[in-house]
Amino acid sequence: MEDNRPMVRIFSLIAAALMLGAAAAPGKPVRDGQKIEWTMGEGRKVYRLGDLTAVFDRVQCAPLGEECADGDVDPVLTITRTDGASVRLDGSPMQNILMLGRLSKDGPVVAFFQDYTGGMHCCQRMRVVAPTGEALAVAELGGYDGAEIGWPKDVDGDGMRDFVVSDDRFLYAFESYAASVAPPKVLNVIDGAARDVSAEPRFAKIFEKAAASARKACIAEDYPNGACAAWAAAAARLGTLDTIWPVILAEYRKDPATWPDRCKVERSEDGVCPEGQLVEYPDYPTGLRAFLMETGYIPAA
């Protein structure tokens, strides 16, 4: 009878090697910037790139109470580095999108996480987990109206990927949501923190494109005030606000028109400004210029 023991030992050694390899590098390998979508119904999923491992899972909610019963679970994403540094982020029961990759050619691997919070016209929450020395830091990019954005691109050619989002402070400010236009906003993640770099001249092409689009709506739409505001903001980034201002004065809708006011102190939780602290502006042009100052597009007078 043929002795199969040597072959059995070989297969055992191969199986053991595969198991050790899996233990040393758990998770499904992914490409730089690859889009990963996860829902709670999928259960635990593990992904890895470089020295980062990402784990999607469902965990018991806490603390137990009126909105959390025994057996209720919440979605979470845990990012861990090979040296043990780790952070845990709460996710969404509706939509979770993860991308692992490098923001510069020789930079460390980071995790770009987007999840949908729900609500009227809102919100795609965006966070980046990036190394800062011995720890992992969470850079809060904010929550934005609309669909998720893809893996960031190097817009200005400086070797660093740029997150191009929208300045949603303009939504509802001068028109209804449908007639509002939000100018772009550019963020970089530097030293584990998000920085607004929109005002830097190297991003002029982004604002030139935005200005052209908003200008078209400002001079052609029945409800132009939202588009005119976005055109003014893009022009301010380009240093051409004074040049296009006469056109805005000729095109904006005079009646009815709305614009933001200003509260000299912090408003209450329900948005009420204390008596005597409210600053109201007499017309759209004055309100628009004040808004551009308050949002940092033009210097304070």
Task: Decide: 99 and 151 in contact? Cβ < 8 Å.
Answer: yes
DSSP assignments along 71-108, one per residue: T-EEEEEEEEETTS-EEEEE--SS-EEEEEEESBTTSP
- The answer to whether residues 264 and 134 belong to one domain is no
**Is 238 inside a domain boundary?**
yes
Higher pLDDT, residue 72 or 119:
72
- The answer to whether residues 35 and 108 belong to one domain is yes
- The answer to whether residues 73 and 139 belong to one domain is yes
Chain segment 152-179, per-residue pLDDT in tens: 999 999 999 999 999 999 999 999 999 9
Question: Which whole number is the average pLDDT over 284-297?
Answer: 97
Question: Which whole number is the average pLDDT over 182-196?
Answer: 97
- The answer to whether residues 70 and 107 belong to one domain is yes
- The answer to whether residues 89 and 194 belong to one domain is no
- The answer to whether residues 175 and 197 belong to one domain is yes
- The answer to whether residues 146 and 186 belong to one domain is no
Total count of domains within the chain: 2
Question: Which whole number is the average pLDDT over 20-29?
Answer: 61
Structure tokens at 90: 């709460």
**Is 19 inside a domain boundary?**
no
- The answer to whether residues 238 and 278 belong to one domain is yes
Reported pTM: 0.86
- The answer to whether residues 122 and 198 belong to one domain is no
Chain segment 70-90, per-residue pLDDT in tens: 999 999 999 999 999 999 999
- The answer to whether residues 144 and 166 belong to one domain is no
| Sequence-separated contacts (24+) of 94-98 with Cβ below 8 Å | 94/39, 94/118, 95/37, 95/39, 95/148, 96/37, 96/38, 96/39, 96/56, 97/35, 97/36, 97/37, 97/38, 97/148, 98/35, 98/36, 98/38, 98/47, 98/54, 98/56
- List the domain range (segments joined by +) for residue 97: 28-150
